[in-house]
A and B are shown apart, each in its own frame.
Chain A
Amino acid sequence: MKILGISAHYHDSAAALLVDGMPVAAVQEERISRRKNDAAFPVGAIEYCLNQAGLEPEELDAVVFYEKPMLKFERILTMALREWPRTFSSFPHAMKSTLGEKLWVKGLIKSWLGVPSDKILFSEHHRSHAAAAMLTAPTRDAAILTADGVGEWAALTVGRGKRAGAKVEVDLLREIRFPHSLGMLYSTFTAFLGFPVNEGEYKVMGLASYGSPRFADRVREIVERTEDGGFRLDMRYFEYHTNAKRSFSNRLIDVFGPPRAPWEPLDPTSTEGRRFADVASSVQHVLEEILVEMCTRLRKELDVPDLCLGGGVALNGVCNARILRESGFERVFVPPAPGDAGCALGAALLADRVFFGNPDRDFPDHPYWGPALDPQELFRVAREDGLPAEELPNDDVVLDRVVRELQAGKIVGWMDGRTEFGPRALGNRSILSAPHTAEQRDRLNKSIKFREEFRPFAPAVPTEHASTYFELPPGGHRLGRFMSGVFPVRPEHRDRLAAVTHVDGTARLQTVDRDVSPRFHALLEAYGRKSGLPVLLNTSFNLAGEPIVNRAVEGYSTFRRCAIDMLVAGRCVVTKRADRTAEIDSGAPEEEAGLNAKEEAAE
């Protein structure tokens, strides 16, 4: 049975394909279209998935959309009516975007794929999150918690998943409904702190470590706990339900002071910067408090040792680690794509196991479902541009060469195998560096990632060595598999892991299994043998404002535009020549000696 899952229209749209219950391909549209967080109907992603399986659209047994567009429309309209006339400015905007395309998903799918109506199915937003979390995890019986901005009506749900024999159940038990939403709370503070919503939440989490939660009581007044263990937001502090342009009200400004303008520099050591860091810390603290308490209750209620987390809020690694430590769950599973993109896979799995009642299958426990790399492509373009490009004879030589460069303080663009599904680079499309010094971190921030200094970098470490360098609670190794948890770096190693140790002594580590990423694992081990520390700094292979690279040529163009020293794709290795590096990277239109030979040829 061939089932295509689709998520689209809000942020990071994606497609995923199952054949006979097993994943064949899954990719976010942004990786294909090269538009960051592309929310458009994922034509490119669908095409890739079908190509990967060699299928024509007519051969699909079902196409599953990740949510119910009509129910969502009802929520948008109902909120507009309830808040009438305050919604007068947001109503035309909301209706134009909903009625103009988002409502007509069935027609869109038919128009692009040509499949008949009876093959088009619709899951529910949070049910898709739940399935993506539960049915990809190595567990048979688990509690489920999903939290994000909002789906149709639900913004947070709890449930239970069972995979007993052939029968699969993913049941939601209760939900908290819009406008009361932890995702929207966090996004509102993201906007208050001057960061872009749906993109800047990582920055809030990074900034929080610089502050103290001195505003936590004030945040608690905004997020009131209800007797049944839920919560409600005091909507007088928010405008996201009435205003398309601003998510917080003047009352929030009265409490926390003026918001930060996006263009203002943010220095957490200045007085104003400290206030922003304290606000970030306070909202982070309250978010953790609520989720830990909810998970603790859920643990007692369902009496199962495993918890599956889904939804965009599950990208908050600090919160996930605290849930693991404090809620009583023994294992916490977060999929590599817990956000809306992952819903494409969740919806397809749910349809396969529940709607069609196909037998349960263990899901391969890795994130590498995207397009594969063609190292020859890199070899060709590098050679055409006259750069030193070599195809090394075997992996040992490649690893040896890369380790030498890393030890010399060089920065390496590392591409291997298939692209990761989800927002994290987990060793197949990564920028790697030695993790030892703060100077290396600053160099990466300033010359390659072009991003704020307060944002930390992540370390990657072989699973078997993780506890030597990081303080992992039981279950921490697993949470680190897809970089879903933030844990303390052991104090005795912080000096030598300065580039990946955040200001509060923590790190969002990736634990690398030999079975999952054999080549990346071997690289870490080789680096450990030479340096005595099998840890590397691992950050996503992209520049600010761009999606993570996918094809080798995209890695190459990134390599040419920033200060990465060496690019590796499979066994193909490219370095820069000193005389060319400066001229392209600075972009200065000075005379380009290296081009002239080709120009003559072109003439």
Chain B
Amino acid sequence: MGDIGTQPTPERALHIRPAGMDALLKPVHRWVWADAHRRAHKLLRFAETEADGGRDLTRAAELTRDALLRRLYLRHASDELRHADMFRKRGRTMLASLSRRGAGVEANWLAPGERGLDDLNVDHENDDTLLAFLHLSERAAAMRFAVYREVLAGDPDTRAVFETILRDEAFHMNYTRKQLERVSPRKHGVRLWMARLHRVGKLYLRFAAAFAGVMGALILGLQYFVVLPFFALAAKHAERRARVPSGWTSVASRSFSFRSQY
């Protein structure tokens, strides 16, 4: 029987290297992870991301008609939930030993968690497109976690968490690739390239949505200070004049129409 990717490959984890860009950005990653508060909050956020990923994989297991994939997805989901638990425990342990304050800037764009900047809508994916997505996503995560492992030399406990998770990531990378080759023997290369293009498209859409979000907030913020003050004065005046009741307001005589949205 050949290797079809269902066996864990712990030794591969040791050889996973950071992606070129991440290697270049190592000083930035070092800065992001240097602050203990930020580190702890990032671990808690990673825990949420892993748990979400676990739920996505559970959903994938529920939807697939392929029995082998179902079992692998369920195992993958269990891994993700275990990772979530590891991140959560480590984050909580750190926070318990730190003074109470927020994370400050978490810099999630610079140092994202496992699914990173990827969106996944499992219900709309086929087995092959999902496997291609998962493979790229796991590969990116493994390389990202490799750089986190390297910059966390000063925190051996957190580093150990990443070390353990990296071993699983190597297995996830491996099985998704092998299974993609199995379910799509002729087109797995195409699927991977399409998934890569899809990731680029998604990246642009995320940028566009973020830009639109910032612009929308900016415009509404401007309106708040330019257009609203006059109306705010009027509203405050009307409130005083009407002596807005606190306690009961009778509505027995209020007209009600099913046709109106107001």
User: Do the two chains touch directly in the complex (Cβ atoms below 8 Å apart)?
Assistant: yes
What is A's interface to B at a CB cutoff of 8 Å? 33-34, 64, 68-71, 74, 78, 80-82, 84-85, 87-88, 91-93, 95-96, 100, 105-106, 121-124, 127, 154, 157, 171-177, 180, 226-232, 258, 261, 263-265, 351, 355, 381, 384-385, 545-546, 551, 553-554, 556-557, 560-561, 584-587, 589-592, 595-596, 598-600, 602-603
Q: How far is the CB of B27 from chain A (nearest CB, A)?
A: 29
Complex formed: what's the CA distance from A124 to B258 in Å? 8
B6 touches A561 (CB 8 A): no
Complex formed: what's the CA distance from A228 to B67 in Å? 65
Selected contact of B58 from candidates A180, A561, A589, CB within 8 Å: A561
For residue A84, which residues in chain B have a CB less than 8 angstroms away from its CB? 224, 228-229, 232, 235-236
A121 touches B259 (CB 8 A): yes
For residue A93, which residues in chain B have a CB less than 8 angstroms away from its CB? 217
Indicate whether A384 sits within 8 Å of B262 (C-beta atoms), given known contacts A230-B248, A557-B61, A591-B7: no
- List 26 contacting pairs A-B, 8 Å CB cutoff, sorted by A: A64-B258, A70-B260, A71-B262, A80-B224, A81-B231, A82-B232, A84-B232, A85-B224, A88-B221, A91-B228, A92-B216, A92-B217, A157-B251, A171-B252, A173-B251, A174-B250, A175-B249, A180-B246, A226-B248, A553-B62, A586-B82, A592-B71, A595-B71, A596-B1, A598-B68, A603-B1
* Residues of B45-86 contacting chain A, CB below 8 A: 51, 55, 58-59, 61-62, 67-68, 70-72, 74-75, 77-79, 81-82
Q: How far is the CB of B124 from chain A (nearest CB, A)?
A: 12
Complex formed: what's the CA distance from A586 to B224 in Å? 53
Decide if B109 is an interface residue (CB 8 Å cutoff): no
Complex formed: what's the CA distance from A232 to B4 in Å? 66
The size of the chain B interface, using a CB distance under 8 A, is: 66
A585 touches B78 (CB 8 A): yes
Selected contact of B74 from candidates A87, A175, A261, A560, CB within 8 Å: A560
Decide if B31 is an interface residue (CB 8 Å cutoff): no
A175 touches B247 (CB 8 A): no
For residue B55, which residues in chain A have a CB less than 8 angstroms away from its CB? 34, 545-546
Complex formed: what's the CA distance from A519 to B113 in Å? 46
For residue B74, which residues in chain A have a CB less than 8 angstroms away from its CB? 557, 560-561, 584
Selected contact of A587 from candidates B67, B82, B96, B251, CB within 8 Å: B82
For residue A105, which residues in chain B have a CB less than 8 angstroms away from its CB? 261
Q: How far is the CB of B145 from chain A (nearest CB, A)?
A: 16
Q: How far is the CB of B10 from chain A (nearest CB, A)?
A: 8
Q: How far is the CB of A165 from chain B (nearest CB, A)?
A: 22
B 193-219 binary contact with A (CB < 8 Å = 1; else 0): 000000000000000000001001100
Selected contact of B236 from candidates A82, A173, A561, A599, CB within 8 Å: A82
B75 touches A261 (CB 8 A): no
For residue A122, which residues in chain B have a CB less than 8 angstroms away from its CB? 258-261
What is B's interface to A at a CB cutoff of 8 Å? 1-2, 4, 6-8, 44, 51, 55, 58-59, 61-62, 67-68, 70-72, 74-75, 77-79, 81-82, 88, 91-92, 95-96, 100, 123, 167-168, 171, 182, 213, 216-217, 220-221, 224-225, 228-229, 231-232, 234-236, 239, 244-252, 256, 258-262
B51 touches A545 (CB 8 A): yes
Point out which of A124, A229, A589 has the most chain B C-beta atoms below 10 A from its C-beta: A589
Q: How far is the CB of B123 from chain A (nearest CB, A)?
A: 8
Q: How far is the CB of A90 from chain B (nearest CB, A)?
A: 10
Besides A122-B260, A174-B248, 11 more A-B contacts (Cβ < 8 Å) are A68-B260, A82-B232, A96-B213, A122-B258, A123-B258, A124-B256, A561-B78, A584-B71, A587-B82, A595-B72, A602-B4
For residue B247, which residues in chain A have a CB less than 8 angstroms away from its CB? 176, 226-232
For residue B78, which residues in chain A have a CB less than 8 angstroms away from its CB? 561, 584-587
Indicate whether A176 sits within 8 Å of B220 (C-beta atoms), given known contacts A74-B262, A554-B62, A603-B4: no
A561 touches B225 (CB 8 A): no
Complex formed: what's the CA distance from A258 to B59 in Å? 39
